[in-house]
Amino acid sequence: MKQETVKAQMIETTYREAAKEAIRDAIKRDERVFLMGEDVGRYGGCYAVSKGLLAEFGPEKIRDTPLSESGFTGAGIGAAMAGMRPIVEVMTVNFSLLALDQILNTAATVRHMSGNQFGVPVVIRMATGAGRQLAAQHSHSLEGWYAHIPGIKVLAPATLEDARGMLWTALEDPDPVLIFENVMLYNMSGTLAADAGPVDIDKAAVRRPGHDISLITYGGSLWKTLEAATSLAAEGIDAEVIDLRSLRPLDDATIMASVAKTRRAVIVDEGWRSGSLAAEIGMRIVEQAFWELDAPIGRVCSEEVPIPYPRHLENASIPQAPKIVAAAKAVLGRA
Amino acid sequence: MAEFRMPSLGADMEAGTLVEWLVKPGDHVKRGDIVAVVETQKGAIEIETFETGRIEKFLVDLNSKVPVGTPLAEIWAEGEAEPVVAAAAPPVTPAARPLAAPAPLITPSPPVVPSAVGMRASPAARRLAKERHIDLSTVTGSGPAGAIIYADVERLGAAGAAPERKRAPGLDLNAMRVAIAAAMARSKREIPHYYLEHQVDVTACEQWLTAHNTTLPPDNRLLFGALTIKAVALATRRFPAFNGFYRDNKFEPAQAVHIGVAISIRGGGLAAPALHDADRISLDELMASMRDLVQRTRAGRIRGSEMSDPTITVSSLGERGVEALYGVIYPPQVAIVGFGKVVERPWVIDGAIGPRSVVTMTLAADHRVSDGHAGALFLAEIGKLLQEPDKL
């Protein structure tokens, strides 16, 4: 392929706008694509991702649904099996539990149970994570649970590029793809190439190269981890930061290559510690890279409590940069 | 007193490296016990003893590369007394002198054991210390709580020996490729192959297998491959010119029938270890042995006798979807029988055309030993045996 010689024009945008642009692009590219979910039309989406899209595309493409996650997720699965390419928006991962039966027992199993006769090319987007004082029924990070389920893919876009680019690739996938958007990222602003387009959805990315320790994370925790890496650098510790991007499948190769280089790892995961995705990654490192390790593996996860409402308690309950710095230094014996 | 010697594990093997003892002096062993692991071009191979008795002493150091025939250990029969010191018995060192450079091909197997109670060393540090033969008790740790980390060992070893080639025991696909190249080139250079092909209706086998397997759990079910191996084994009884070795310009027929089963190895390797006495064991035993053999071959744990014993080879690429394969004889064997994929074909039975399951068998045989006429009868005999699977 010819190398682009002219530097692409950059635009100022936000994660929210990038996610919206991804939906607009998909609807324009493929007439089978439509968006459905609670308040995605007239209200413009609970996080305003679809604001303006109803006016632009009309009610056939931007469909408000009744307040029934199981019902409309099931409808999306059925539409996908029948040939459409639906984007189902669920307000938060907490609410997605009402649709868990549809996602696990139907979407993830139909290809298997039909002997490969039917696939479910649905994309289900939802918000995840704490930090907006939405209390214990709207703030959890359960994407690690979904990453447990064979038959689906689970994505966690953390950057503008991924918010813009993962959706189309996910829609191209013949099987269900879940996209988790961290609520603290929607307002994040930055620059994005004006011609930004689809990106791969099966590779982790090294967001900051380093030699002393691998900090492995995803989603909203990426930026806290990068902040921690900057603090560590000031103390002479050169941390590498891995953005998983895909939580299922996990890109073991990138993780192991990093750990083999740094010989130390801390996993940062906003899920609860017990039975977490962080636990899975830690175990894989032990299985595949034990003889490369110079220190026990560390973890920074959420405290094992329902996410509290008061701001100071909410902040204390989830991973933050100082906790990541402390965990990294403990692994390095520099506490 | 008997000597346990470095065995020949193939016509092309000149030397092997002793990498592991599975017994210790004083242990009692009996014929057939696995006593050592030897590293060859074909991978790590488990070696059995042919003697029964007590391991008296080891004669060769671990990781020594020694020529075929070198005594590795002394085995004394039960009740055998210490012999009178032989007058001029020379020390065994001449034979045991390493062949090549003293650097062992693989790292020594004894695990690194912390030599001081409570010493802390990371997995990476332990691995590097083992590779470089560094005693961890001599290393000062700079990690958390004084733990020895990779960099500590690396610093110490930097001036010393260069790190050795890392290599897991077991399969070395590159070395295996070299061995395959040598054997196959020798085969095509020395053996005048002739080739025959014969199509056989195996509907009876399929029907019999279906009936036989209905009530069996998956682990015990018979595969078509077991029938073909058994049929070839039985056919060699009537046609001994295909079962044996061509050595020193003459054919030595083999008494037993040990079928070499061609097993492909993920990543691109091939081995054809022996299924012993395939003509005498039951189909169920044969199937169980075959499963065990495939599993161990792919894990790189083949026994020495299995490498050197095959008297004829059977190869089947059936599942890969080709209808016929023309084998290259593995020297010093004199024949290889190939089975293609079983396919549905229109077939004339009693004057009418009907669908039947058909397989294409091929024979590549050594023209120095047999002629096409005998080969044709041999193939026909295999085909006949496959018509009555219940009698196999």
Report DSSP letters for B113-156, one per residue: --SSTT--B-HHHHHHHHHHT--GGGPPP-SGGG-B-HHHHHHH
CA distance A158 to A246: 10
Q: Give the per-residue pLDDT at B83.
A: 47
Written in H, E and C, the secondary structure of A233-292 is: HHCCCCEEEEECCEEECCCHHHHHHHHHHHCCEEEEEEEECCCCHHHHHHHHHHHHHHHH
Contact A319, A270 (CB under 8 A): yes
Contact A36, A63 (CB under 8 A): yes
Q: How far is A211 from chain B (nearest CA, A)?
A: 12
B312 close to A (CB below 8 A): no
Does the pLDDT at position B80 exceed 80?
Answer: no
CA distance A39 to A46: 7
Question: Could you give the strand order of the β-sheet that contains A265-272, starting from the edge strand earlier in sequence?
Answer: A205-208, A239-243, A213-217, A265-272, A298-302
CA distance A47 to A53: 13
Give the up-direction half-sphere exposure of residue B173: CA atoms within 13 A in the CB hemisphere. 9
* Amino acid letter for position B89: A
Does the pLDDT at position B79 exceed 80?
Answer: no
Q: Give the per-residue pLDDT at B95.
A: 43
Three-class SS of residue B370?
Answer: coil
Residue spans of alpha helices (H) in chain A = 15-29, 53-57, 69-81, 93-96, 100, 110-113, 143-146, 160-172, 221-234, 252-262, 277-289, 311-317, 321-331
Q: Which two tokens stand for residue A138?
A: 């709207």
CB contact under 8 A, A291 and B144: no
CA distance A56 to B185: 72
CB contact under 8 A, A263 and B149: yes
Q: How far is A317 from chain B (nearest CA, A)?
A: 28
Q: Give the per-residue pLDDT at A145.
A: 97
Contact B18, B152 (CB under 8 A): no
Q: What burial letters (b/e) apply to B121-140, b meaning 16+ CB within 10 Å?
A: bbbbbbbbbbbbebebeebe
Three-class SS of residue A189?
Answer: strand
Rounded mean pLDDT of chain B? Answer: 82
Q: Give the per-residue pLDDT at A159.
A: 98
Chain B positions in Cβ-Cβ contact with residue A293 (cut-off 8 Å)? 122-124
Does the pLDDT at position B101 exceed 50?
Answer: no
Size of interface A-B (CB pairs under 8 A): 35
In angstroms, the Cα distances linking A328 to A332, B74, B122, B132 are 6, 56, 17, 30
pTM of the model: 0.56
Q: Give the per-residue pLDDT at B91.
A: 42
Phi first, then psi, for residue A162 (nearest 5°) are -75, -35
CB contact under 8 A, B123 and A332: no
Q: Label residue B239 by pLDDT band (50, 70, 90).
A: very high
CA distance A265 to B314: 50
Using the Cα atoms of residue A152, residue A131, residue A189 and residue A89 in order, give the sign of their dihedral: positive
Phi first, then psi, for residue B4 (nearest 5°) are -95, 120
Which parts of chain A sit beneath pLDDT 70?
A: 1-7
Task: Find, among A213, A205, A259, A268, the residue nearest to A240 by Cα.
Answer: A213
Contact B290, B225 (CB under 8 A): yes
Q: How far is B260 from chain A (nearest CA, A)?
A: 35
pLDDT in tens, B354-378: 999 999 999 999 999 999 999 999 9
CA closest to A296 among chain B residues: B122
Contacts with A, B 145-204, CB within 8 Å: 145, 147, 149-151
Q: How far is B146 from chain A (nearest CA, A)?
A: 9
Q: Give the per-residue pLDDT at B143.
A: 84
Domains and CATH numbers, chain B: 2-96 (2.40.50.100), 107-166 (4.10.320.10), 190-391 (3.30.559.10)
Which residues of A are tagged catalytic? Answer: 69, 138
Backbone Cα Rg of chain A: 20
Residue with tokens 């560590």: A232
CA closest to B122 among chain A residues: A294
Chain A positions in Cβ-Cβ contact with residue B145 (cut-off 8 Å)? 333
Q: How many CB atoms lie within 10 A of CB B266?
A: 8
Contact B377, B341 (CB under 8 A): no
Give chain B's count of helices (H) and strands (E): 9, 20
CA distance B214 to A321: 62
Q: Can you say how many angstroms the Cα of residue B328 is from the centroid of all Cα atoms in its chain?
A: 18
In angstroms, the Cα distances linking B253 to A68, B242, B366 are 79, 8, 13
Give the up-direction half-sphere exposure of residue A238: CA atoms within 13 A in the CB hemisphere. 8
Q: How far is B144 from chain A (nearest CA, A)?
A: 4
Report the range of poorest mean pLDDT among B72-76, B112-116, B119-123: B112-116
Instruction: Please name the member of A263, A330, A331 whose beta carbon is closest to the beta carbon of B150.
Output: A263
Does the pLDDT at position B237 exceed 60?
Answer: yes
Q: Give the per-residue pLDDT at B158.
A: 57
Does the pLDDT at position B11 exceed 80?
Answer: no
Instruction: Please name the member of A290, A330, A333 whose beta carbon is closest to the beta carbon of B123.
Output: A290
CA closest to B152 among chain A residues: A294
pLDDT in tens, A257-312: 999 999 999 999 999 999 999 999 999 999 999 999 999 999 999 999 999 999 99
Q: Give the per-residue pLDDT at B195.
A: 96
CA closest to A297 among chain B residues: B122
Domains and CATH numbers, chain A: 10-193 (3.40.50.970), 205-331 (3.40.50.920)
Chain A positions in Cβ-Cβ contact with residue B143 (cut-off 8 Å)? 294-295, 333
Instruction: Please name the member of A290, A291, A295 whose beta carbon is closest to the beta carbon of B143.
Output: A295
Chain A positions in Cβ-Cβ contact with residue B147 (cut-off 8 Å)? 295, 333
Chain A positions in Cβ-Cβ contact with residue B125 (cut-off 8 Å)? 294
Does the pLDDT at position B315 exceed 70?
Answer: yes
B126 close to A (CB below 8 A): yes
Chain B positions in Cβ-Cβ contact with residue A295 (cut-off 8 Å)? 122, 143-144, 147, 149
Q: What is the mean pLDDT of residues B323-349?
A: 92
Chain B positions in Cβ-Cβ contact with residue A326 (cut-off 8 Å)? none
CA distance A147 to A154: 6
CA closest to A330 among chain B residues: B144
In angstroms, the Cα distances linking A9 to B269, B280, B389 are 52, 78, 74
Distance, first Cα to last Cα, chain B = 43
CA distance B63 to B102: 9
* Amino acid letter for position B92: V
Chain A positions in Cβ-Cβ contact with residue B122 (cut-off 8 Å)? 263, 293-295
Does the pLDDT at position B163 exceed 70?
Answer: no
Distance, first Cα to last Cα, chain A = 49
Q: Give the per-residue pLDDT at B106.
A: 40
Determine which of A261, A290, A291, A297 to mutate to test the interface with B (most B C-beta atoms within 10 Å): A291
In angstroms, the Cα distances linking B286 to A315, B47, B122, B233 are 66, 22, 47, 11
Chain A positions in Cβ-Cβ contact with residue B123 (cut-off 8 Å)? 290-294
Q: Label residue B172 by pLDDT band (50, 70, 90).
A: confident
Q: Label residue B87 by pLDDT band (50, 70, 90).
A: very low
Determine which of A262, A294, A332 to mutate to test the interface with B (most B C-beta atoms within 10 Å): A294
CB contact under 8 A, B144 and A293: no
Q: Give the per-residue pLDDT at B50.
A: 81
CA closest to A295 among chain B residues: B122
DSSP secondary structure, B221-274, as one string? ---HHHHHHHHHHHHHHH-GGGSEEEETTEEEE-SS--EEE-EEETTTEEE--E
Give the up-direction half-sphere exposure of residue A38: CA atoms within 13 A in the CB hemisphere. 16
Q: What is the mean pLDDT of residues B40-58?
A: 80
CA distance A304 to B321: 55
CA closest to B129 among chain A residues: A291
Q: Can you say how many angstroms the Cα of residue B142 is from the centroid of all Cα atoms in its chain?
A: 46
CA distance A167 to A34: 12
Residue with tokens 């979807």: B321
Q: Give the per-residue pLDDT at B82.
A: 53
Q: What is the mean pLDDT of residues B164-169?
A: 43
Instruction: Please name the member of A263, A293, A295 whose beta carbon is closest to the beta carbon of B144.
Output: A295
